[in-house]
Structure 1
Amino acid sequence: MIEKQKIRVMLVDDQKAIRYGFTMLISKSATCSVVATCENGQKVLDTLAQLAERREPLPEVIIMDIRMPVMDGIAATKEIKTRYPHVQILALTTYDQDDYAFKMLSAGASGFLLKDVRGPQLIAAIEAIHAGDAVLTPRITGKILARHVTNLGTSEDVQAARAQFDALTEREIEIVTLVAAGLNNTEIAEKLYIEPDSAKKAVSRILTKLGMRDRVQLAIQWTKAGL
Structure 2
Amino acid sequence: MDTKDRCTIVYADDAMIHHVLMRAMAQSHLLDLVYCASNGRELIDYLHENEHELPEICILDLHMPVLNGIETAKIVKERFPSIRIFGLTSSSDENERMELRDAGAEEIFSKEQMPLLMKQLAPSL
Distance 2:90 2:45 in 1: 27
Question: Do the aligned partners of 2:88 and 2:114 also contact (CA within 8 Å) in 1?
Answer: no
Distance 2:77 2:60 in 1: 13
Structure 1: which 5+ runs fail to align?
Answer: 129-227
Q: 2:44 maps to which residue?
A: 45
Q: Give the number of equivalent residue pairs.
A: 122
More strand by share: 2
AA aligned opposite 1:13: D
Distance 1:101 1:127 in 2: 23
More helix by share: 1
Structure 2: which 5+ runs fail to align?
Answer: none
SS at match of 1:36: strand
Distance 1:68 1:94 in 2: 12
SS at match of 2:25: helix
Whether 1:108 aligns to 2:85 is no
AA aligned opposite 1:87: I
The 5 Å alignment of 1:12-31 reads 12-30=12-30
Distance 2:104 2:117 in 1: 19
Distance 2:91 2:12 in 1: 19
Larger RCO, structures 1/2 (Cα 8 Å, 6+ apart): 2
Give the Å deviation of 1:118: 5.0
Q: Which has the larger radius of gyration?
A: 1
Aligned identity (percent) is 25
Q: 2:11 maps to which residue?
A: 11
AA aligned opposite 1:71: L
SS at match of 1:102: helix
TM-score (norm 2): 0.89
Q: 1:187 maps to which residue?
A: none
Question: Do the aligned partners of 2:62 and 2:91 also contact (CA within 8 Å) in 1?
Answer: no
Whether 1:89 aligns to 2:85 is yes
SS at match of 1:110: strand
